[in-house]
């Protein structure tokens, strides 16, 4: 049953929190997304997936809901996260600035990215009202009128090399409190996260591969951003995979290099996780290095939409338990 037949306009939040080593904390954050203020469960909200990485000390919680409900659900999850995570003592390999590090809102079906931007701005305003010391920067459709990308904002704020919070300049809220840090809130077309591990401890080699596949490189992969991190005794190439407008969804869907997706008549394409893995494998092989495996952090956009429709139709709030979650 499609979301249109369900009568829903669906959106998702891939909530990034700076905690993975305390599983109960992450699950409490996920469960908070399902509950209204009166303690009753939201009828049209589901936590589809939890991806936690202990080396990174970072979790991505995929929350899907009707667009009218998503903001309330995400806010409840954030309130729980800010109570449980203290950035003053947080440690992890992955760059981060906030206890709740990132709140991206993505359209799944029946809703446009502009409406998701309005939801994101509402979340940001509520956060700084309800959480003492919470500070927010905006990106994408929530960052009006500039609509600066997440990459632009992160570079401006020094996200890649965490620094003294007193020097950060938020868009909303006061100077970030040490406990809360700085939270990014925004909206855009769906962004996939795909990680590939190479069988090496050579961080320089990993960084060379990451640089080669970035969309900004001469022969890079369109829409792909990549970083290399030490991970579980090897090096992981962590990729954000952004969409680009697809001139021909039919042609793209037949090309193994791409994943196609459509929302409200807008057609988007993404580099396929399989193709990204193949390119990393080739670049690693050129250096005499093998690859160990690939992990998709959550879903492709079509998978996310399909799971959301099923979970909401069947009223399954803790859908992630059916999938088993991914705790590494």
| pLDDT of the residue at 249 | 47
pLDDT band at 298 (very low <50, low <70, confident <90, very high): confident
- C-alpha distance from residue 124 to each of 36, 103, 185, 327 (Å): 19, 9, 6, 28
| Domains defined along the chain, listed by start | 3-190+301-327 (3.30.990.10), 192-296 (3.30.70.670)
Q: What's the CA angle centered on 293, arms 195 and 108, to 5 degrees? A: 45
Q: What is the pTM of this model?
A: 0.92
pLDDT band at 7 (very low <50, low <70, confident <90, very high): low
Distance of alpha carbon 47 from alpha carbon 62, whole angstroms: 6
Q: How many CA atoms lie within 13 A of 265 on its CB side?
A: 0
First and final CA of the chain: distance in angstroms? 33
Cβ(27)–Cβ(50) below 8 Å: yes
158-206: pLDDT as tens digits: 887 766 777 888 999 988 889 999 999 999 999 999 999 999 999 999 9
| pLDDT of the residue at 305 | 95
217-232: burial string, b at 16+ Cβ within 10 Å, e else:
eeebbebbbbbbbebe
- Copy the structure tokens of residue 87: 């950035």
16-34: burial string, b at 16+ Cβ within 10 Å, e else:
bbbbbbeeebbbebbbbbb
99-119: pLDDT as tens digits: 999 999 999 999 999 999 999
- 38 burial (CB, 10 Å; 0-12 / 13-18 / 19+) is exposed
Mean of the per-residue pLDDT values for the chain? 91
- Answer whether residue 56 shows pLDDT above 70: yes
| pLDDT of the residue at 171 | 96
């Amino acid at each position: 049953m499609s979301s249109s037949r369900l009568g829903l306009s669906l959106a998702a939040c891939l909530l990034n929190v700076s905690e993975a080593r305390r599983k109960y904390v992450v699950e409490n954050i996920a469960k908070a997304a399902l509950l209204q203020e009166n303690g009753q469960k939201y009828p049209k909200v589901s936590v589809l997936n939890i991806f936690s990485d202990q080396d990174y000390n970072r979790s991505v919680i995929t929350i899907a809901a009707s667009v009218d409900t998503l903001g309330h659900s995400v806010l409840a999850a954030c309130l729980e996260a800010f109570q449980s995570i203290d950035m003053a003592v947080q440690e992890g390999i992955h760059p981060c600035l906030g206890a709740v590090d990132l709140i991206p809102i993505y359209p799944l079906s029946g809703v446009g990215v502009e409406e998701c931007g309005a939801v994101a701005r509402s979340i940001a305003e509520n956060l700084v009202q309800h959480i003492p010391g919470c500070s927010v920067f905006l990106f994408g459709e929530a960052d009006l009128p500039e609509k600066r990308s997440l990459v632009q904002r992160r570079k401006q704020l020094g996200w890649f090399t965490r620094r003294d919070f007193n020097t950060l300049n938020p868009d909303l809220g006061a100077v970030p409190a040490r406990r809360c840090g700085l939270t990014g809130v925004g909206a855009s077309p769906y962004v996939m996260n795909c990680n590939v591990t190479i069988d090496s401890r050579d961080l320089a080699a990993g960084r060379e591969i990451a640089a080669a596949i970035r969309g900004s490189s001469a022969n890079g992969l369109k829409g792909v951003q990549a970083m290399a991190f030490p991970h579980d005794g090897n090096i992981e190439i962590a990729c954000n995979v952004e969409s680009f407008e697809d001139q021909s969804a039919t042609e793209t869907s037949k090309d193994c290099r791409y994943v196609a997706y459509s929302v409200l008549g807008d057609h988007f394409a993404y580099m396929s996780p399989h193709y990204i893995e193949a390119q990393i494998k080739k670049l690693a092989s050129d250096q005499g290095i093998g690859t160990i495996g690939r992990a998709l952090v959550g879903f492709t956009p079509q998978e996310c939409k399909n799971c959301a429709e099923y979970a909401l139709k069947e009223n399954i709030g803790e859908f992630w338990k059916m999938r088993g979650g991914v705790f590494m």
